[in-house]
């Protein structure tokens, strides 16, 4: 929240008339004044952020602007914040200042790199001139060698030596380790021995290794793998209030139990679905790996059985912090138990979201028996499987694939919402059952 608030202030600053950087020791030199658009292009090339088809997110930029696709890519990557645009205007054609450029560089480094040093105290003679929103970025830039922490910084001056700045950023970039999932792909977690009874999916090549495995043995949820509820709390876009008591591990199966019973803690709480607010009338269960496992690619497999009747909406899916993106590996509306829904939501912001929904007809009723649902995710595609056979079509949209990084898993039973109100067909308690969840990863794609 703090970062967003700081960012909100930043590209909205009135541009001050720049003073020459001739005696600014900390930054590069060059004759050209750079616009924000031009600087973003250099930055995107360095951070390996792909341009994306412009979705019209800024009021003052149309698709004809030569930097519109670069700006879109940087927004989707989280380097340019939507809130950086003052009143929706980003000013791609205005000159960029030193403090703006430094903030963008720090955000670009954070996009792919880990282990950046925290900020250090600034020693610039003119440090008092740095805008409050920019101070923390300049401190991080100083601590990581992006700027020399001495002499004058000239925070409000127009950037004159953008290429030199980017060259310097390149040196820093190369000196830091990659975040998992960026650059060369690799197995992210300790490789597990394959337990007895666990079978390697037949379509997976030998270089896929088991990195996450929960068979739901024992009688409690393994909290090294999962957290209870949603990562943000007990409710989402449906009428169930999720609590740990309704997450049951028994006989080798995880059950998320929906009950036709209002939880006392949900009285007075509401959920929103399709812009409609409604009371939360049921009790249910959810688990997530937000605090335990974040994934970049792999083969995900879960053997599950859906509960019976209308108004039940079990889901196995992935999120990262902020929305979009979202990957829906399985959603079933239990009033239509022979339809599997899969999806990928992506885009620059919630109000310019795009998606790839597929409705896949199954040749069985998913509420009758356990079946194995699979999701294969590589840098090039996402594919869906049922009982080891690919179903639907592969998703190959580069914009969607690029945006999905560091995703965590969720399993939950939603009630009401997308499948409407429970009725006389609904079987209570409504048990969404999962026999296992396994993730396999490989090093090279």
Judged by the rule CB under 5 A, the positions of this chain that interact with Ca ion are: 215-216, 252, 435-436
Considering the complex, what minimum distance in angstroms separates the CB of residue 46 from Ca ion? 47
b/e for 334-364, b at 16 or more Cβ within 10 A? Answer: bbebeebbbbbbbbbbeebebebeeeeebee
Which residue's Cβ lies closest to Ca ion?
A: 252
Q: How far is the CB of 216 from Ca ion (least distance, A)?
A: 5
Question: Whose Cβ is closer to Ca ion: residue 66's or residue 195's?
Answer: 195
The residue (of 96 and 249) whose beta carbon lies closer to Ca ion is: 249
Cβ distance to Ca ion smaller for residue 215 or 260? 215
Burial class (CB in 10 A: 0-12, 13-18, 19+), 317: buried
Q: Which two tokens stand for residue 261?
A: 């019973």
Exposure class string for 46-56: b at 16+ Cβ within 10 A, else e: bbebebbebbe
- Nearest-approach distance from CB 304 to Ca ion, in angstroms: 11
Distance in Å, CB of 286 to Ca ion, minimum:
19
Q: How far is the CB of 49 from Ca ion (least distance, A)?
A: 41
Q: Which two tokens stand for residue 332?
A: 């079933």
Q: Which residues contact 381 (CB under 8 A, 6 or more apart)?
A: 394, 395, 396, 401
Distance CA 178, CA 156 (A): 31
Identify the residue whose tokens are 């060369």. 184
State the nearest-atom distance from the C-beta of 256 to Ca ion, in Å: 14
| 3-state SS, residue 253 | strand
90 or 437, CB closer to Ca ion? 437
Nearest distance from residue 183's CB to Ca ion, in Å? 36
Tell me whether residue 58 is exposed, middle or buried, using C-beta atoms within 10 angstroms of its C-beta: 0 to 12, 13 to 18, 19 or more.
buried
C-beta closer to Ca ion: residue 222 or 355: 222
- Measure CA of the first residue to CA of the last residue in the chain; give whole Å: 35
Residue number, 15 or 192, with CB nearest to Ca ion: 192
Instruction: State which residue, 399 or 437, has the beta carbon closest to Ca ion.
Output: 437
């Amino acid at each position: 929240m703090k970062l967003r608030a700081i960012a909100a202030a930043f590209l909205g600053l009135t541009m001050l008339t720049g003073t020459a950087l001739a005696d600014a020791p900390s930054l590069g030199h060059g004759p050209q004044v750079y616009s924000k658009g031009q600087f973003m292009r250099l930055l995107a090339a360095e951070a390996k952020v792909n341009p994306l088809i412009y979705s019209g997110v800024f009021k003052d930029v149309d698709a004809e602007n030569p930097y519109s696709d670069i700006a879109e890519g940087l927004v989707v990557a989280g380097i340019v914040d939507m809130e950086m645009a003052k009143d929706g205007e980003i000013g791609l054609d205005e000159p960029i200042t030193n403090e703006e450029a430094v903030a963008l560089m720090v955000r670009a480094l954070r996009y792919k790199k880990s282990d950046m040093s925290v900020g250090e105290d600034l020693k610039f003679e003119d440090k008092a001139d740095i805008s409050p929103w920019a101070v923390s970025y300049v401190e991080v830039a100083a601590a990581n060698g992006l700027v020399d922490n001495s002499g004058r910084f000239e925070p409000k001056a127009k950037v004159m030596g953008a290429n030199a700045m980017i060259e310097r950023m390149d040196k820093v970039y190369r000196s830091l380790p990659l975040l998992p999932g960026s650059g060369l792909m690799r197995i992210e977690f300790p490789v597990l021995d394959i337990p007895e009874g666990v079978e390697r999916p037949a379509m997976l090549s030998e270089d896929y290794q088991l990195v996450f495995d929960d068979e739901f043995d024992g009688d409690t949820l393994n909290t090294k793998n999962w957290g209870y509820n949603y990562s943000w709390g007990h409710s989402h876009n449906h009428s169930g209030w999720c609590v740990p008591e309704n997450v049951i591990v028994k006989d080798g199966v995880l059950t998320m139990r929906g009950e036709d019973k209002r939880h006392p803690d949900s009285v007075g709480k509401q959920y929103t679905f399709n812009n409609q607010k409604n009371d939360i009338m049921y009790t249910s269960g959810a688990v997530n790996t937000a605090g335990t496992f974040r994934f970049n690619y792999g083969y995900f497999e879960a053997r599950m059985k859906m509960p019976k009747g209308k108004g039940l909406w079990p889901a196995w899916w992935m999120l990262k912090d902020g929305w979009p993106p979202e990957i829906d590996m399985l959603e079933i509306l239990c009033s239509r138990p022979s339809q599997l829904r899969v999806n990928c939501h992506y885009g620059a912001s919630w109000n310019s979201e795009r998606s790839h929904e597929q409705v896949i007809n199954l040749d069985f009723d998913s509420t009758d028996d356990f079946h194995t649902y699979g999701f294969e995710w590589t840098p090039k595609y996402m594919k869906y499987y049922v009982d080891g056979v690919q179903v639907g079509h592969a998703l190959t949209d580069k914009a969607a694939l690029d945006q999905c990084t560091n995703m965590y898993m969720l399993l939950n039973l939603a009630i009401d919402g997308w499948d409407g109100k429970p009725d006389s067909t609904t079987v209570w308690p409504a048990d969404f059952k999962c026999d296992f969840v396994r993730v396999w990863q490989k090093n090279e794609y």
